């Protein structure tokens, strides 16, 4: 698919509600930072509000619906923030999954732990001249956070990141991907958020390809899901993206909360979901 230029159409709640009411099975997925909660200079302060906690819990009470949070955070970190029972978790951009009895860690990512440790040490030295930058070790990946960095340092940082990109490309083990005020260093193989959610569809729904898929996301890595779900209710969250593969948009994370609130009320009395035990 070729990303469309500019904003896709604004998501209409009534249309989404109608689709959910008539669907037999619903898989509702969302990014976390910037989508369910506001971005913060310190990611450890991105807490789920009490109100949204209750909304997610109410959504999980609908028998035909599954709720999954998809994030670049580590699974340990995500578990500390999302304590709603029955909510599935996809962490580290898909390298870790924990939902409905499925506990998955990508085996190839585990084998690169020592390489990531070496690069963590190397990058700590290389980035020391940049005040406010810090490197997060997420076990299966690394994140360079530069939200607190003075913009005057951006040109110099770009040169360092480009050099890093070239070195990693020559080794073919890791890859650099840009996000909102972050650079992600991840294993270099064909697995991302999109591959992870597709594996969830196959695992839990099998031949039931009619499952209604919904995804809210605000970052470049969410395009991986928009790409593999071209016919789904994919919603870009934020203002005026230059390009996106999402089919709809919402201006902010507050709008996402409003949509989820309406769906949790509307779907609370939805019909019972059939058992998929024979497919697991």
Residue 1 reports pLDDT greater than 80? no
Other CB atoms within 10 A of residue 174 CB: 22
> Is residue 105 helix, strand or coil?
strand
Q: Is the separation of the CB atoms in 32 and 71 below 8 Å?
A: yes
Alpha-carbon span 107 to 84, nearest angstrom: 27
| Selection from 18, 92, 29 nearest residue 246 by Cα | 29
Alpha-carbon span 192 to 200, nearest angstrom: 13
> pLDDT tens digits for 164-210?
999 999 999 999 999 889 999 999 988 999 999 999 999 999 865 68
pLDDT value at position 243?
86
pLDDT value at position 167?
95
The label of the residue with tokens 């991907």 reads 177
Mean pLDDT of the chain: 90
Residue 113 reports pLDDT greater than 90? no
Other CB atoms within 10 A of residue 76 CB: 12
Report in angstroms the alpha-carbon separations of 147 from 111, 162, 164, 230.
30, 18, 19, 32
pLDDT value at position 209?
67
> pLDDT tens digits for 44-57?
778 889 999 999 99
Q: Where in the sequence of the chain do the CATH 3.30.70.1020 domains occur? A: 109-187
- The answer for residues whose C-beta is within 8 angstroms of residue 159's C-beta and 6 or more apart is none
pLDDT value at position 275?
32
Instruction: Just give the CATH number of 109-187.
Output: 3.30.70.1020
Alpha-carbon span 160 to 151, nearest angstrom: 15
Return the C-alpha torsion angle 70, 73, 77, 82, nearest 10: -20
Residue 216 pairs with which residues in a beta bridge?
30, 235
pLDDT value at position 266?
87
pLDDT value at position 272?
42
Compute the C-alpha angle 227/2/158, nearest 5°: 85
The H-or-E segment that residue 194 falls in is helix 193-205
Alpha-carbon span 82 to 29, nearest angstrom: 13
Q: In angstroms, how far is the first alpha carbon of the chain from the final one?
A: 31
> pLDDT tens digits for 54-75?
999 999 999 999 999 999 999 9
Instruction: Just give the CATH number of 4-106+191-279.
Output: 3.40.50.1000
pLDDT value at position 7?
74
Q: Where in the sequence of the chain do the CATH 3.40.50.1000 domains occur? A: 4-106+191-279
pLDDT value at position 109?
87
Alpha-carbon span 268 to 280, nearest angstrom: 26
Residue 117 reports pLDDT greater than 50? yes
> pLDDT tens digits for 225-260?
999 999 999 999 998 777 899 999 999 999 999 999
> pLDDT tens digits for 81-108?
999 999 999 999 999 999 998 999 998 8
Alpha-carbon span 264 to 54, nearest angstrom: 10
For 137, phi and psi rounded to 5 degrees? -95, 110
Mean pLDDT confidence for 96-123? 92
Residue 279 reports pLDDT greater than 60? no
Confidence of residue 4 (pLDDT cuts 50, 70, 90): low
């Amino acid at each position: 698919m070729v990303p469309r230029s500019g904003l896709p159409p604004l998501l209409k709640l009534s249309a989404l509600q109608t689709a959910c009411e008539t669907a037999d099975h619903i898989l509702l997925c969302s990014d976390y930072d910037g989508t369910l909660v506001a971005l913060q200079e310190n990611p450890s302060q991105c807490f789920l509000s009490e109100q949204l906690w209750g909304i997610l819990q109410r959504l999980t009470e609908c028998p035909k619906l599954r709720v999954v949070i998809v994030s670049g955070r580590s699974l340990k970190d995500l578990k500390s923030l999302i304590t709603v029972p029955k909510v599935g978790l996809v962490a580290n951009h898909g390298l870790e999954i924990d939902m409905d009895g499925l506990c998955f860690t990508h085996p190839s990512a585990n084998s690169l732990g020592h390489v990531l440790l070496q690069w963590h040490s190397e990058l700590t030295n290389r980035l020391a001249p940049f005040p406010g930058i810090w490197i997060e070790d997420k076990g299966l990946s690394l994140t360079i956070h530069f939200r607190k960095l003075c913009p005057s340092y951006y040109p110099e940082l770009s040169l360092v990141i480009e050099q890093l990109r070239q070195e990693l490309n020559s080794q073919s083990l890791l890859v650099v991907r840009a996000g909102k005020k972050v650079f992600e260093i991840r294993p270099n193989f064909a697995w991302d958020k999109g591959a992870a959610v597709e594996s969830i569809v196959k695992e839990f729904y099998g031949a039931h390809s009619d499952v209604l898929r919904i995804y809210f996301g605000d970052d470049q890595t969410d395009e991986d899901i928009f790409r593999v779900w071209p016919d789904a209710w994919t919603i870009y969250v934020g203002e005026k993206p230059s390009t996106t593969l999402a089919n709809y948009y919402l201006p902010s994370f507050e709008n996402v909360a409003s949509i989820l609130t309406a769906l949790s009320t509307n779907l609370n009395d939805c019909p019972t979901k059939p058992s998929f035990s024979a497919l697991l």
